[in-house]
Amino acid sequence: MRTRISEPLWVTLISHLLARHDVETAAILFGEVVRGDDDGDVLVIRQVVPVPDDAYLERRIDRIRIDPVALNRLVRRARDKGWSIITAHSHPGTSTPWFSWADDAGDARLMPSFAVQVPGVPHGSIVVAGDNGAATLRLFEDPTSHPAVLAVVGRTFTTWPAAASASSETHHRQHLALGESGQAALERLRVGVVGAGGTGSVVAAQLAHLGVGELVLVDGDVVEKSNVSRIIGATVVDVGTAKVEVVARYARGLGVDVRTVPRALLRAADAAALNGCDVVFSCVDRHVPRALLNRFSYDACVPVIDLGTVFRVDASGTVTGDGGRVVLVGPGRPCMACEGLLDPERLRVEQLSDEERERGRAEGYVLGAELPQPAVISFNTTVAGAAVTELLRMVTGFAGASDPPDRLSFSFSAGTVRRTRLPAGTACRICEDPHTGDAQVASRGGLAAGAPGPARGILQHELVRRDPRASQAQHRRRRRRRERRRVLHRPLREHGRA
């Protein structure tokens, strides 16, 4: 089972475990199993609890023993929530983590006890090398133990143990730029791409050429004549074929494993197909799937890279403005709502039924919601290439990790690109941890539990009200909409769409 921990939580854990070099130090981690499709179940670490000094019965450089009464108090929250329990401790004076005979003996007693207290979920233990913070994890299930990969997710994406170096003639030139360890990290990745249109197909094609381990393609649309000029791998004979199948055909031709999900992302439960992904690209032009991915990123501890292009065209068809963006969200970063990428009015309109939308147009409440937008493959390729480069920065560290951008903004007409970042501490109810106030994972149920609730509650109440850049005009418009709904007695309802 894949195991993830946010970078802020990992820093908290390592700072505690490596604070002393003369004795071993311990902590308890609580993890929530996030259920996904197929083999997409993952264990997401939600909390780190340091073991206090007075809880040790014995503490030496090569051995620790914790008071059972104190340990029982420490794991109470995991019992209450049904969470996994993972012990972690340091090995001072070592650079390679391993499980000693004392660790084996301790786990042989502890893990069956944890399984009785919290059944039905895996439990485990972590050893951290005292000299460099390298880590190794093993999980106990049914009741055997097995090594597991631990991913640290934040401004970088790091795995323990590190991926084994790869050597391939196909990607030899990439080895020269990214290193063999960088290429090995790519080959271990499972990457999701939501939206297989103009930008999504370019992203998927580049990922396939880079040699990622697996692609998960999500899109419910079919190829139309107007798409052929923008979808990589599409031909005129593909009109009427599912977009994900066209893009998958191209990627499989390069030897990449591909799983297709031929449905739109409309409900929280639909995101279960992405739980097993290490990184997800948001290549959608609608706000409902973007809001779902925004929430998913923090609940499932998965970095999401959102990208898109936009043009403003006047009545005569002349382009009066253009732009492109690449925005990275996830643990340790502000979310899309804080970045101003989620429009409450567009969300409201997208969730209306066809009948409600037509009625709204007649009454003047829906304006231009379905108008086709300009799109050109060269602009899509520019933005998609920048987004994939940010993945390389995150996973391989080819450009360092000291100052990665949160957002890239493009002007195609001016030929410029700017990197921007919101002020430190910017966060809302989605990207803020209620325990610490930091921008990291915060479990609130709902999407993490795979609940099939409507997308409406994800943004219109939780995010918009907390958007730090909401203007007074936006507040007035929302107030007028609420008044209209009260008068018309037409509450917003969820409806099924294929």
List the structure tokens of 281: 């690209």
pLDDT band at 428 (very low <50, low <70, confident <90, very high): confident
The CATH code of the domain that includes 29 is: 3.40.140.10
251 and 146 in a common domain = no
Residues near 143 by beta carbon (within 8 Å), at least 6 away in sequence: 111, 112, 115
Please give the pLDDT value at position 481: 62
Q: Per the domain annotation, does 438 fall within a domain?
A: yes
Reported as a pLDDT band with limits 50, 70 and 90, residue 299 is very high
Report residue 283's pLDDT band, with 50, 70 and 90 as the boundaries: very high
Q: Which residue has the higher pLDDT, 436 or 384?
A: 384
Q: What per-residue confidence (pLDDT) applies to 443?
A: 35
Given 121, 153, 185, the domain boundary residue is 153
For 5, residues 6+ apart whose C-beta sits below 8 A from its C-beta are 13, 29, 44, 45, 150, 151, 152, 153, 301
Which of 44-58, 161-175, 389-403, 433-447 shows the highest mean pLDDT?
44-58
Q: How many CB atoms lie within 10 A of CB 436?
A: 12
Residues 218-248 have pLDDT tens digits of: 999 999 998 899 999 999 999 999 999 999 9
Task: Domain of residue 468: give its range.
Answer: 172-484
Give pLDDT, residue 325.
Answer: 94
Query: 161: cis peptide before it, omega within 30°?
Result: yes
Question: What amino acid is encoded at 400 in this protein?
Answer: G
Say how many domains are in the chain: 2
User: What pLDDT is attached to residue 427?
Assistant: 79
Task: List strand residue ranges (DSSP E) for 361-463, in order.
Answer: 407-411, 416-420
At residue 375, the pLDDT reads 75
Flag whether 220 is in a domain.
yes
Q: Are residues 144 and 181 in the same domain?
A: no
Reported as a single tens digit per residue, the pLDDT across 124-133 is: 999 999 999 9
pLDDT at 360: 59
Residue 461 has pLDDT above 60, yes or no: no
Question: Do 330 and 466 fall into the same domain?
Answer: yes
pLDDT given for residue 318 in this prediction: 72
Report if residue 273 sits inside a domain.
yes
- CA neighbor of 30 nearest in space, from 91, 95, 76: 76
The whole-number pLDDT of residue 448 equals 33
Residues 180 and 143 both lie in one domain: no
The most distant pair of C-alpha atoms in the chain lies apart, rounded to whole Å, by 80
Q: How many CB atoms lie within 10 A of CB 176?
A: 9
User: What average pLDDT does the segment 16-29 reach?
Assistant: 96
Give per-residue pLDDT as tens, 138-153: 999 877 889 999 999 9
Query: Is residue 456 over pLDDT 50?
Result: no
Of 437, 285, 426, 265, the residue nearest 346 (C-alpha):
285
* 461-480 mean pLDDT: 51
* Alpha-carbon span 347 to 344, nearest angstrom: 5
Say how far residue 23 (Cα) sits from the centre of its chain.
36
Predicted model pTM: 0.83
pLDDT of residue 359: 62
**CATH code (residue 444):** 3.40.50.720
Lookup: tokens for 52: 């206090």
Q: Are residues 119 and 208 in the same domain?
A: no
Higher pLDDT, 494 or 295: 295
pLDDT value of residue 356: 65
- CB neighbourhood size of 287 (10 A): 23
Residue 397, pLDDT score:
84
Q: How far apart are CA 16 and CA 51, in angstroms?
A: 9
pLDDT of residue 178: 86
Handedness of CA 34, 206, 385, 287 (dihedral sign): negative
Q: Are strands 42-50 and 2-6 parallel, antiparallel or unpaired?
A: parallel
* 149 and 177 assigned to the same domain: no
> Is 3:43 a contact under the CB 8 Å cutoff?
yes
* Cα distance between residue 462 and residue 424, in whole Å: 21
Instruction: Indicate the average pLDDT of the chain.
Output: 83
Judged by DSSP in three states, 333 sits in coil
| 359-391 residue pLDDT tens | 655 555 444 445 566 678 889 999 999 999 999
Closest alpha carbon to 446 in 300, 228, 238, 260 = 300
Mean pLDDT throughout 163-189?
82
Instruction: Count the neighbouring beta carbons within 10 Å of the beta carbon of residue 76.
Output: 10
Report the C-alpha gap between 336 and 308 in whole angstroms.
13
Percent over 90 (pLDDT), the chain: 59
114 and 255 part of one domain: no
Percent of the chain's residues with pLDDT above 70: 81
Asked if residue 161 is part of any domain, the answer here is no
Q: Are residues 197 and 330 in the same domain?
A: yes
Residue 97 forms part of a structural domain: yes
Does 371 lie in the same domain as 286?
A: yes
Assigned domain for 160 exists: no
Check the CA dihedral 451-495-429-296 and report its sign: positive
Quote the pLDDT of residue 472. Answer: 60
Task: Locate 456 and state its tokens.
Answer: 């409406």
* Domain final position from 119, 153, 187: 153
Is the pLDDT higher at 220 or at 399?
220
Looking at the DSSP bridge assignments, the partners of residue 163 are none
Same domain for 201 and 322? yes
Classify residue 163: in a domain, yes or no.
no
| DSSP structural state of residue 423 | P
Q: Tell me if 365 sits within 8 A of 346, measured CB to CB.
A: no
Which of 153, 180, 214 is the last residue before a domain boundary? 153
Q: Is 438 helix (H, G, I), strand (E, B) or coil?
A: coil
Same domain? 461 vs 385: yes
Residues 184 and 141 both lie in one domain: no
CA distance 419 to 92: 41
Q: How many CB atoms lie within 10 A of CB 92?
A: 19
Residue 221 lies in a domain: yes
